[in-house]
Structure 1
Amino acid sequence: MIDLYSRLIRHSGNQNLFRVIEMSVAAIVNERPFHIQAEGPRGTGKTTIMRAARALLPPITRIKDCLYNCHPAVPHCPAHRNLSQEAIAALGVEQVPRPFLEISQAAKLGTVVGSIDLAKLTSPADQLAALLPGTIPQAHRGIIFIDEINRLADTAPELADVLLDVMGTRPGRVQIEEPGLPVAELPVAVSIWAASNPDEDPGPLRRIRKQLSDRFDVAVTMGRPDNFRTVAAILAGQTYETQETEVLSTANLPLSGRLEDIEVSQEVRELLGKIYLEFGLESLRSITAMETAACLTAMLDGRTVAGITDLAQIAPLVLAHRVSPDDLVAIQSYLYKMLYGQDSMVARKKTPPSLKERLFPANFWAAVITRAAALINKRGGLPGKTGKGAAGEQETARIVDPLNTTIVAPPKPAVPLARLPDEQLVTRSRKPHG
């Protein structure tokens, strides 16, 4: 499984998902749930990457045979939470794989939360009315993955309500209720990972269930590969190392760092407070998620202090599903001004790029022109330009830069179809009679 995750191809369209997965794993290792969502067109690898990431999860130590994964130092389940450390030592402990469970579209409330243990209830030797924990309690200290969560939120609102409780606080909580048995309320520390196709029915999660969307600390928008070699490498099932692709070494991931050791200055916290108030953010979860994500970024980079640079880096991931695009750009600009100063040259270079700059980087057309001219000259120059110049040297192709070329508009503006004369809408030529 480790080999599978290591061999997955990274490119500009999915690199943010790899990053937030590693952030979430680092958080849950520190007993801190960190919920992530990946949105994007079908077939871009969201589910494949998330499922393969279970290879990053280190094992856990639990009380022996505990279905709730009770930590020996802080037991929480009904069977163990009142036991002394001596009694827990007598039961023994064991190391097991960290849970990575899934909730399917066909899941029922009882299988997700918990229900009566029918095996014990119908045992001929010792009939006992007892609870059987569902997927969420059994995933304590691990991960739950939900594919197409936008559909689940639309078709199973009762499950969405459960997720609201699980993701609303840290740790979250579930409540198991069965007739004839006392109500069992359990704390659960579990990270929710989800994937969705917002361009298909029923649409983006934030439009279906805004409260649930807000529970996700970060949301990543997946994109397609932008390099044909990347696509070829994906088809071949191999790694391909270029500037566009990067191979991860799972052994070098600093997932064992201590999140509590990452320092957040008072200046950063006051800045988060200003962003919350000045930009009218609806939920305090947004700035809480920004602080946590900044700390995780610093930890994964091997640093002990989270600063404004980290906030600027993670702001789009934390806020894109919570605020409008205009507000997101304004917040990013605000952070860059805090970093570099409003009037500094660096600030102007660091402000979010325009659409033209994103589509055509500064060296894009220069590279295209240089390459095209080289190919044309290699093939003998431009058509009809095979002679020599005035100096007796072979002429070389010259290609203008389209970004620095003045385009003259046509003398007459375009006319809407509705205002065209009928005879200009359709034309045809008459064939001569023969």
Structure 2
Amino acid sequence: MKHALLLAAVEPGLGGVLVFGDRGTGKSTAVRALAGLLPELSLADGCQYNCTEENPSPHCSVCNGEAHPQRSLRPTPIVDLPLGVTEDRVCGALDLEKALLSGERAFEPGLLARAHRGFLYIDEVNLLEDHLVDLLLDVAASGVNVVEREGLSVRHPAKFIMIGSGNPEEGELRPQLLDRFGLSVDVGSPDDIETRVEVVRRRDAYELNPVSFHETWQAADLEIRDAILIAKKVIPSVNVPDESLRLAADLCIRLGVDGLRGELTLMRAGRAHAALDGRMEVTVADILSVAPMALCHRLRRDPLDEAGSVARVTRVIDEVVDQTVGHA
């Protein structure tokens, strides 16, 4: 799970991460902890659209109203999308306060504007209402939020990395939304005593003294942040040789993955994996390493195969490796 989140932080084009697991396995904790590892963004003070300096949203009065608005560094946003949220809260709507006080028809940005250039976190994503799923699919595909209601016509950038978590026992995800997540991982409770004891120790240490806990782990956090920054800078120059692309295509064909999104995800994830490791070329090992999390949620259901999707991907990977070794 942590590795998938880091890959998504390095390569936004992956499309986000889906995390399924039992209650109490640290899914939400890991996602929210990601904020402390991400590089800060330079934002204009008072900007509600997280505009870039080069290309501000046309509806942002702050970034378009002054020649050089005051800017400051702020944490990369991780915005929660709560269950039961209204469509107006997600997309934005008419600012009723301004309309009543001054008669001015103004737009009040929603959660999608706040998530621009950051992360949108959906806990219990499999319980999300269908009309919100349709909305997210449209915005995730276009990178633009369009609001046409109450006499308003607003378009603003909404490019974010989507992270969803949920308990598989509470329902399945719609295939259209499932396909939008680049990576998918399953998490479970650790089954060895030492790991469980260490988790309890760290949780207790945090609750007793959060400041001291952060100081203890600050150096490790900064090391990960530096690795993310370096990887984001070099990733456009990371080479993906034909051998790695052929392997990606071979895996998708053997597994019966529909479309070409599987190959694209494998290529992007492999590139991010190599960049995080400080290498400038994607190897076969990179593709094989990210294959389970990139492909397991894209498999068709096979009623004759009782093995889980991760086991099916692992089995095909073993076949490919055996054939490669045999040919060598």
- TM-score, length-normalised on structure 1? 0.64
Structure 1 CA distance for aligned equivalents of residues 294 and 278 of structure 2: 21
Equivalent runs, 1:210-229 vs 2, <5 Å: 210-229=175-194
Matched residue, 1:49: 30
Match of residue 9, structure 2, among 6, 25, 46: 25
Change (3 A) 1:33 1:186: farther
Q: Is contact 1:160–1:212 with CA below 8 Å preserved after alignment?
A: yes
1:270, 1:148 → 2: CA distance? 36
Q: Which residue of 1 aligns with 2:69?
A: 91
In the alignment, is the contact (CA less than 8 A) between 1:145 and 1:194 conserved in 2?
Answer: yes
1:271 maps to 247
> Is the Cα contact below 8 Å between 2:117 and 2:160 reproduced in 1?
yes
Aligned pair partner of 1:318 in 294, 297, 309? 294
Aligned residue number for residue 120 of structure 2: 144
Tell me what 1:286 maps to.
262
CA distance in 2, matches of 1:103, 1:48: 15
CA shift at 1:189, angstroms? 1.6
- How far the C-alpha of 1:275 sits from its partner, in A, is 3.9
Aligned counterparts of 1:238 and 1:181: Cα–Cα separation in 2: 48
- 1:376 aligns to what? none
Q: Give % identity.
A: 27
User: 1:270: Cα distance to partner?
Assistant: 3.6
- Whole-angstrom distance in 2 between the partners of 1:24 and 1:239: 29
Amino acid at match of 2:71: V
Q: Which of residues 89, 96, 118 in structure 2 aligns to 1:118?
A: 96
Superposition deviation, residue 37 in structure 1: 1.0
Secondary structure of 1:292's counterpart equals helix
Deviations 1:221-276 (A, max 9, x none): 00211221222222222699xxxxxx892122201022212211233234334444
- Aligned partner letter, 1:167: A
What is the distance in 2 between the residues matched to 1:173 and 1:334?
42
Structure with more of its chain in helix, by fraction: 2
Contact residue 25 and residue 187 of structure 2 kept, 8 A: yes
Q: CA deviation at 1:195?
A: 0.7
Residue-by-residue CA offset, 1:121-149 (whole Å, 9 max, x unaligned): 122xx431111111012110111111110
Residues 1:342 and 2:298 aligned together: no
- Please point out which of 56, 61, 66 is paired with 1:75: 56
Aligned length: 302
User: What is the DSSP-based 3-state SS (H/G/I as helix, E as strand, rest coil) of the residue aligned with 1:320?
Assistant: helix
- SS of the aligned residue for 2:46 comes to coil
Task: Give the unaligned 5+ runs of structure 2.
Answer: 206-216, 302-308
Say which is worse superposed, 211-220 or 226-235, in terms of deviation. 226-235
**How far apart, in 2, do the equivalents of 1:82 and 1:271 lie?**
46
Tell whether the 8 Å contact from 1:312 to 1:335 is kept in structure 2 after alignment: no
Q: What is the distance in 2 between the residues matched to 1:99 and 1:204?
A: 28
Alignment match, 1:198:
168
Distance (whole Å) between structure 2 residues aligned to residue 101 and residue 232 of structure 1: 31
Cα-to-partner distance string for 1:86-142 (whole Å, 9 max, x where unaligned): x7643343322221110111211010111111122122xx43111111101211011
| Counterpart-to-counterpart distance in 1, 2:203 and 2:69 | 46
For 1:178 and 1:277, the matched residues in 2 are separated by 45
Find the counterpart in structure 2 of residue 187 from structure 1.
157
Q: What SS does structure 1 have at the residue aligned with 2:258? A: coil
In the alignment, residue 99 of structure 1 is paired with which amino acid? P
Question: Which of 122, 131, 136 is the matching residue for 2:107?
Answer: 131
1:166 aligns to what? 139
Structure-2 separation of matches of 1:262 and 1:151: 38
SS of alignment partner, residue 228 of structure 2: coil
Correspondence for 2:212:
none
Paired with 2:14 and 2:255, the residues of 1 have a C-alpha distance of 27
- Contact map agreement 2:94 2:107 (CA 8 A) in 1: yes
2:306 corresponds in structure 1 to none
